[in-house]
Structure 1
Amino acid sequence: MTDLETRTSGRSGALRRAAPALLGYAAVRALGLLVLALWSAARDKSAYTLLTARWDSLWYTGVAELGYGYEVRLPNGDVHSNLAFFPLLPWLERLGAAVSPLSYADAGFVVSLLASLAAAWGIFAVVEHLYGRRAGVCAALLWAVLPVGIVQSMAYSESLFTALAAWALYAVLTGRWVTAGLLAALAGLTRPVGLAVAAAVWTAAVVAFVGTRSISAPDGAPDAGRAPGDGARRVLGAVLAPLGAAGYVLWVGHRTGKGPFGYLDVQAGWRNGFDGGVAFARFVAGRFTSFPSALAGVALVSGVVLLIGLYVVGVRQRQPLPLLVYTGIVVALALCASSYFGSKPRLLLPAFPLLLPLALTLARLRNSRSALVVSGMAVASAAYGAFWLTGSGPP
């Protein structure tokens, strides 16, 4: 076989292995969209508007259409600037509108749908590589049935970021250093938490470097199991990884005239910053001052405990260090941001390695039982997503 035939065969084989995960994921998301459409119609609302023309979606389409520089000054003095929104999704929306009859909002919706499938495939690929095909299918399905899984179908950047992060982590785990660096750079152009992907690439590069140093031959001969040029590719991947996030942050600082920390000033205008979780802790404590809001407080505390517990289980299961670093940073940034407490669940969507312990447990069940569990969770997720979006919803 030629190299081209080998690569083609490899891709088709990978798609066949991932097919159950992708078909199951698509079915779950289709159910969510159907329930949202029915629920919205009953409340005289447009499901498509909720998915493409509300909250952050409007800011992304605004950047796609008009570029950066738009801001809203609130009566309390806060300044909401569109510089807070990273550019990759608006760029793709602009590209989609340029090459098709789609509007910017339509293009954002299509990007999210395609990216969500790519994310499900990437999650499957990572987990299959570590724990086998069955666990990979379960992980992709669990990501689909998360309570705020409907966000995966919105014209938001969560699906795009998760797709880039998952495939970057897969590239790291399989030693594709340049690919990992490029995907990490793109993730850094998607959301501020893209630095978590860069940190995972750096961690893997350091671990690989230490490993090659420790097993190198005494006479200085190259390691027989190491591909020629692997060290150079590893360095290149590590250099590329932070360029997306760093480049945009530095550009914002230059545009605002406030130097390297200009992006922090932009975020401060949204009252969004990193305070180590103090504001979130106060918010949770405030739920316990009355009833029934205390029930919400109990749910929030339980959710945080569950997140920490899943992370600890991942450590005990000896998940690869790059995954633990990535997940830890995503969770820390989501929980320790000082504003928009209602958006924390969707900010945690990219932390898919937290689902690995649950996926392994689900994979041990019989097919009938695992299907029943996933089906029940899918129905609950669809109902909650419709209720959430037709109510307060994101920001």
Structure 2
Amino acid sequence: MNTTLRRAVIATAAVSMALSMAACGKAGGSKSSAADVNTGFRIGLALPENQTTRYEAVDRPAIEAKLHQLCPKCQVDYENAAQNANTQQQQIDTLINKGDKVIILDSVDYKAIQPSVEKAHSKGIKIVAYDRLAQGPIDAYTSFDNTAVGKEQGQALLQALGSKANPKAKIIMVNGDKGDPNAAQFKAGAHSVLDGKVDIAAEYDTNGWLANNANNEVSGAIARIGKDNIAAVYSANDGMAAGIISALQSAHISPLPPVGGQDAQLDGAQRVVAGTQAFTIYKPYKDEADTAAQMAIDVATGKSVSVADTKVSSATTKDIPAKLIPTTIMTAQNVKQTAIDGGLYKVAQICTPQYAAACAKIGLK
């Protein structure tokens, strides 16, 4: 073989070997390679806290059930941060190290979690923001229309006040946690309805969605405003409503002024039935959970987000595929049409012996 021909053969072989090695490297576990539902893969589920009963009682089992339906061989790695942003950052590291292909993330603090989201993204891990839109490179997002929820809360509070709703009627507003972007949206929506129609005599942004904090805040407001001057109390969720109602009862305010909430958690639904809480906001959590699971499978397997029907933007990421689930004001008059017919609770769960008479009074059986 002459020298020129031998050089050409060697060059061709070298190119062929390089291409073959590149192909092997790409097929063998590139960090951006898509997962496969036929073989299964690891999915992380990171929820923010367990003070609000919905997360352990409803969200986690619903998400896990749908994931296993869509991907029977997939393994779900579950973490709950117990309302601690630092803990959640460590948990995301754990999920990354376990090799999860996608993480469904409900952030404790939507800003503080950004470095963790960026770290996951740098390793090719997809992130589905669940219930709260975290900052950082999010691949998909599902929640409820939080501004609309706030508007529903404001409307329901005015309806509960009835003829007592006027610009001189003093109300207390107990908003949600400052680290939760949803809280700001609930607050904005409620203000858009309430401002000018009632007198917001005291307002708090509560740390951690805690009933005890809400109780202390309302107790202080009662002392300043006077127990006979409180027309109603806006509570951003049902958990805090429990603490608020306790504060009102401890001050011997009777009859209780209207108190509203959100989430339709079981004790909130029971208070609505009993009349100690005027309303809550019913959220079809199963729809949200199913949506998040489908999004996780889609982004992990390299598909377009099939269930998204809109786009949202955060301070860091534009045009995130999203789906926002509609909600409903729930009062004693429509508990059956919402929480019962929606499959959130059975009648027996709400109508325990303590609430049997109240349930009978509204025909819930």
Q: Which has the larger radius of gyration?
A: 2
TM-score (normalizing by structure 2)? 0.27
Q: Which has the higher contact order (CA 8 A, sep 6+)?
A: 1
TM-score computed with the length of structure 1 as normaliser: 0.26
